[in-house]
Amino acid sequence: MAGIGPLSEEGLVRLLDHTGERVADEYFGPFAEHLTFDDLRGFWRDMIMTRAFDTEATSLQRQGELGLWVASLGQEAAQIGSGRALRDPDYAFPSYREHGVAFTRGIDMPSILRVFRGLEHSTWDPAAHNFHIYTLVIGAHTLHAVGYAQAMDWDGLVGSGDPDKDGAVICYFGDGATSQGDVNEAMVFAAVNNAPIVFFIQNNQFAISESVTRQSTVPLAQRAIGFGIPSVRVDGNDVVAVHAVTRWAMEHARSGAGPVVIEALTYRMGAHTTSDDPTRYRSSADEDYWRERDPIARVETYLRGLGELPEDFEEAVRADAKELGRVTREAVKSWQPGPTDTIFEHVYAEPHPLVDADRAWFAQYEASFTDKEVTR
């Protein structure tokens, strides 16, 4: 339930409340004025598709088809609203839960599961989608993101005034990552170098089982003040507000004005991962409170109330979502392990003697087994 400190609603930007009513905001409202009903139906469709994929992945893990799954249930608005605010020159650095952002960047969704089936480190070309590979080491990618942003600036891809050329980086991480040293170091580098980056914190209220109130006594966005970085808090279950705030922040960064921190207050409706049991550390009343603030339901209520969610459109989207589930299920069950030495590919852009040595040792190790299939 709504609380104090990092769980408070202090300063939250909101443009669509949980009852499906629009809310005025003098500053950020104009950043959503361009959105048409077609756009909002598109957001709703994106969130439905993301949730369908997420639900199927959870089911596959429960059937033993995946080693682990990290669900995004309940965080669809934070991801779709921000992902749809990005442009082609922008570059996104996800952690491991940004399936909705991946969808907006054109990633083949079933292929993501090859990572969680233990077949590959990544399955997409980051340069083709401007979407970095998933990073499971908490907060480590924030330093990579700042470095990439700095390079964009040095390459003259920021603040030129050419909208087809100027870009910025957006880096996603959770509330737990804000306690990591890497994240704080990244913010120091970004601030002093005026790097074109938006740090997007999805405050889903738990670092695995640890409440965010055990990590901070104030809203997480306030931490940015100490680094000299402007920040904003947004209702992370309001896709319209998230889109508006991210649009503002990315324009700020693309212009060369420096970094921004966004804290999107949301709620992880599922477990941290499929190895977690959230009933051990939170109440059913808490879950009911946030279920009433479901990010998909509020857009659905708003559009339906205005007669802008036609029945045939809704049926088509739900059919597409069902089809995505089928395609995902059949793909995962058809996959077979490939050569194990692919783990040594793409470590560096060019050949490296240490990687070559590791590859040779691994080949010798595998050859030491009589039945090589046992090693796979």
Helix axes 37-62, 295-305, angle to 10 degrees: 140
The residue annotated as part of the active site, out of 27, 62, 214, 281, is 281
Distance CA 358, CA 354 (A): 6
CA pair distance 176, 186, nearest whole angstrom? 15
Catalytic residue among 18, 97, 141, 272: 272
272 catalytically annotated = yes
Cα-only R_g, the chain = 21
Q: Which of 62, 100, 45, 63 is nearest to 271 (CA)?
A: 62
Contacts by 221-225, CB closer than 8 A, 24 or more apart: 221/11, 221/261, 221/262, 221/263, 223/178, 223/261, 224/187, 224/199, 224/261
Task: Judge whether 289 counts as a catalytic residue.
Answer: no
Beta bridge partner(s), residue 203: 265
- The whole-angstrom separation of Cα 262 and Cα 232 is 5
Given the residues 45, 114, 268, 293, the one annotated as active site = 268
Whether 281 is catalytic: yes
Q: Is 334 exposed, middle or buried (0-12, 13-18, 19+ CB in 10 A)?
A: exposed
Per DSSP, 16 falls in state: B
Residues designated as active site:
268, 272, 281
